[in-house]
Amino acid sequence: MHARLNHAQPYALGLFRIVVGLLFACHGAASLFGVLGGAMGGGSIPAGTWPGWYAAVIQLIGGSLVMLGLGTRAAALISSGSMAYAYFKVHQPEALFPLQNGGEPSAVFCWAFLLLVFTGPGALALDRLFSRGGAERGEDRAREQAPAVTV
């Protein structure tokens, strides 16, 4: 059973990345273009408004890059940081816990993107099409040489 799960792990991680990136990009599109219900119940955020418009740009671009698997680690790091900022500057001053202050999406996106920073894109990433060279072979060799950990 463990062998099957371990074999499927890169694909599960890839699907996780695609779903999280798509959801994040949808938030950005809603805020920037007023689609999918718009920002805060309708409409779009005026261009250049701090911090909402800049956050929406990060959401749209970062979410799209993560979803496609292009520059996943960098895009995920910037996206995670923007959600940490959103949580601590917008939500946390309202109440201590995310359930009380409406910050659950910010907290979950922050941690999901931070996970992708450390795990990489998994399978089904466009990065793999463009970089079939040394970097991936080095990662594969490192994985092969690392001791197997079973729980």
What percent of the chain lies above the pLDDT cut of 70?
85
**Does residue 85 have a pLDDT over 80?**
yes
Over residues 58-85, mean pLDDT: 97
Higher pLDDT, 8 or 143: 8
Q: What is the pLDDT of residues 92-131, one digit of tens each?
A: 899 988 999 999 999 999 999 999 999 999 999 998 888 7
Token couple for 133 = 């060279």
Alpha-carbon torsion, ordered 12, 16, 17, 23, to 10 deg: 160
**Does residue 41 have a pLDDT over 80?**
no
Token couple for 49 = 């408004």
Name the burial class of residue 70, with classes exposed (0-12), middle (13-18) and buried (19+) by CB atoms within 10 angstroms of its CB. middle
Q: Distance of alpha carbon 113 from its chain centroid, rounded?
A: 4
